[in-house]
Homo-oligomer: A and B are copies of this chain.
């Protein structure tokens, strides 16, 4: 089984109903670097060695007949979740940065092992978390 073991998550996906609002939020407020946008279908952001995919589910549930890349359809409705890794200093700055940019912090607490998480919503209602990696990984 080790032969097929992945190195880690390369892409996480969220679904949003308004790509423009999502870009204003993820690029404008969170400072992620946009890689590409395709019409009203999707926008992707670079984040370290990983990629955040934001899809409009109305488009991604369709088979892509116009493309020669056979990307399978997908798409969901309802609040998704993603968590980004950040250090304690970054979290402390985020706790000031979000309210200063009109973003309400929904939760800000320490897990039993002492790692801190901050939760807030993106414009589509997805639950976005920033957490210290020591929540899961020591060293």
Q: Is A21 an interface residue (CB 8 A)?
A: no
Residues of chain A in range 73-96 having any CB-CB distance to chain B below 8 Å: 73-87, 89-90, 93-94
Contact A81 B53, CB 8 Å, known A2-B31, A4-B31, A76-B76? yes
Partner of A47, one of B6, B70, B94: B6
* Cβ-defined contact, A72 with B10, below 8 A: no
Residues in B neighbouring A80, C-beta threshold 8 A: 13, 15, 74, 76, 80
Which of A1, A10, A74, A90 has the most chain B CB atoms inside 10 A of its CB?
Answer: A10
* B11 and A82 within 8 A (CB): yes
- Contact status of A8 and B81, CB under 8 A, knowing A74-B126, A119-B72: no
A: residues with CB less than 8 A from B are 1-13, 15, 30-31, 35, 46-53, 55, 57, 61, 69-87, 89-90, 93-94, 97, 106-107, 109, 111, 119, 121, 126-127, 129-131, 133, 135-137
